[in-house]
Structure 1
């Protein structure tokens, strides 16, 4: 076992950096895959039986996750790292499983992770948590809707008691209110423990709305979702007010290592950032970064997350500084990261093993997984930015991302 983190280390017992086995001539074969699985098992204690594809997939394992089961979609899983994370919950050097069919993705994230690790690692923290359900109540006129809002504030304690009676882990923090004409939109904000929480909050909010309808003198009609919760959709309200977890990952890139490993100068990188920030504003982009969705989708598939949540989770806010020392500060904030270590697809055999690789299986681990996600996104942002600045982005895809000759790939 390694010495930094027994649940996710990537250093040997002697403290030396562990190198992922690779064959420069023929790396895609059963022998090399087995070597890498053996290394991961030795350093994490996770037995990668299902990741290795040994034996048939038991349909019973998917009960509660799929209907009309016919089999499994096998997505290749690669490993990137080690990535050093100095988080509140994730601490140590991590080897990160990424499930993808996009050539160069794992290599790119691996390169970014190497730079970040050699620069001292990534500091990461969850700074806010909130999962929503957004019902809407309807009235005959605007004044009734306004007065209803006051009534909800006055009865918040009773509403919270009813909502929390439906769940062991959900806690109602507050209720935001937004009025349009005779409609009063409510945004119930919860903490949900280690579950993503959409179903949990739906059940709790329905119970609360039934109590409201019965207790309010006007017996108002409601819809459980007025679309202000923006489930599985990006929205500016989530960027501002958080959905899931708001996570920050930050690092200082040493200018010498940046030059040696990436072939770019910190000043060049900062000029690139000024241009791309302007471009993102011009486009009205959900992210002013490069490609947060790539790393998140790959991590989500590998670890059993609801992949549709990438729609919200990929929103990313990059903030950078060119320091007086000549080094480069870079932070990535994910304001709507939705991850879980319990429930959903996290209990499926392959996904459970990938969570074990990261020390993120089971209760009490969701914040840890969130920090790993944010640190991984930062690694991908740094790597792609350097590739664009150095102009070796296209060449890398030509070399690693094309495996089928033919006119359709030209």
Structure 2
């Protein structure tokens, strides 16, 4: 194959300007033969997206619908909330809205943040397993010094503990941090890098070192995060009277519980690592609307569902999200429309991240119940036909 002359994307000295964006749009039209008409039409100030995107040309607009009111009885989120959902999937907003209607009538959703931590996971290699074990013992004894080095790099982050995992002649260290209102991946990388520089300067015998061994499992769902938490571990739970299930969902707790058991069995057969219905739907829509790192959906959408028919016939239902990675400050949260969506929830800025996490989990619970009931009641396909613009 003949080598082709590479045509680099244009850059200007003032690269975050309307002129630079326009020049790149013109270039891409000439290079591809396409003529984008809408990408360049937006309300963003190009200077405001520095640090969020490179080679800026414009914006993609995603429709935003509102579901609610969502009634939450949390430790950080209390009261009614109208939830912005950015999606192109018909029926999604309607489904979550129906779940919110049901649980509002049932008295609301109780939410609890069970744990909070973000990781970076370096690996250290040695000449033998015994030397690796000795290093692990030294790390335990030196924790206070290591924490001092890590914490010195950040105002918001704090090193909570270091888990150790051994394999062959390697020790994998899983540094666990609290990260304030930031999601914290960059924060933990910087802090762990400083801590590891100190370790390497003070411990002889390290033969191999890698700052990230993949044990933090960035942007991947994993069993270690389901067990040990990444981001926020949040539980949302509710109890639904039997008559309310019949009135709003046109089904019964017994039928819904049987479907839940069947869903658990099907998930076991398929090899999934969580038993939720579709938590990715609502969480993705909230992530897009509020400027979260959407790739974190890979971890954040894992949902652990538990259901029970209570004495007297009421239906208890809960979802635990063990790796919900969210932020209310930094990243994309400060962009104009994303900030407005967070402000609709009263969740923009410092001191709001746990409140936001509880609202996300409560929303996910509403969606789980709504879809599960729709399948049982036979409404699922019909709803998509009416609202989802399906085609034969």
Q: TM-score with structure 1 length normalisation?
A: 0.85
Preserved CA contact (<8 Å) 2:304 2:319: yes
In structure 2, the residue matched to 1:226 is 213
Partner residue in 1 for 2:298: 311
1:334, CA displacement in angstroms? 0.3
Q: What are the superposed Cα offsets for residues 68-119 of structure 1, whole Å, 9 maximum, x if unpaired? A: 0000110000000101000011011110000000010000000000000010
Q: Which residue is 1:125 aligned to?
A: 112
- Return the alpha-carbon distance in structure 2 between the equivalents of residues 212 and 282 of structure 1: 45
How far apart are the structure 1 equivalents of 2:207 and 2:80?
A: 54
1:43 paired residue number: none
DSSP-derived class of the 1:193 partner: coil
Per-residue CA distance 1:2-46 (angstroms, 9 max, x = gap): xxxxxxxxxxxxxxxxxxxxxxxxxxxxxxxxxxxxxxxxxxxxx
- Tell me, what secondary structure is at the counterpart of 2:286? helix
Counterpart of 2:287?
Answer: 300
* Separation in structure 2 between the aligned mates of residue 56 and residue 99 of structure 1, nearest angstrom: 17
Q: CA deviation at 1:278?
A: 1.1
1:347 counterpart SS class: coil
Note if contact 2:129-2:169 (Cα within 8 Å) is conserved in structure 1: yes
State the match for 1:202 in structure 2. 189
Aligned residues: 353
Report how far residue 57 of structure 1 moved: 2.2
Q: Is 1:320–1:328's contact at 8 Å kept on the other side of the alignment?
A: yes
- Give every structure 1 segment of 4 or more consecutive aligned residues whose post-TM-superposition deviation is greater than 6 Å: none
Q: TM-score, normalised by structure 2?
A: 0.88
1:169 aligns with 156
SS of the residue corresponding to residue 80 of structure 1 reads strand
Partner of 1:386: 373
**Stretches of structure 1 lacking an aligned partner (at least 5 in a row):** 1-53, 404-408
Pairing 1:246–2:233 present: yes
Correspondence for 1:96 among 69, 73, 83: 83
Q: Is the 8 A contact 1:287 1:314 kept in 2?
A: no
Identify the residue that residue 182 of structure 1 maps to in structure 2.
Answer: 169
* Structure 2 alignment gaps of length 5 or more: 1-40
Q: State the superposition RMSD in angstroms.
A: 1.3
1:331 Cα offset (Å) = 0.6
Aligned mate of 2:362, from 364, 375, 393? 375
> 1:55 offset after TM fit, Å?
6.6
Note if contact 2:125-2:206 (Cα within 8 Å) is conserved in structure 1.
Answer: no
Residue of structure 1 equivalent to 2:3: none
CA contact (8 A) 2:226 2:323 kept: yes
Q: Does 1:363 align with 2:354?
A: no
Partners of 2:242 and 2:314 within 8 A in 1:
yes
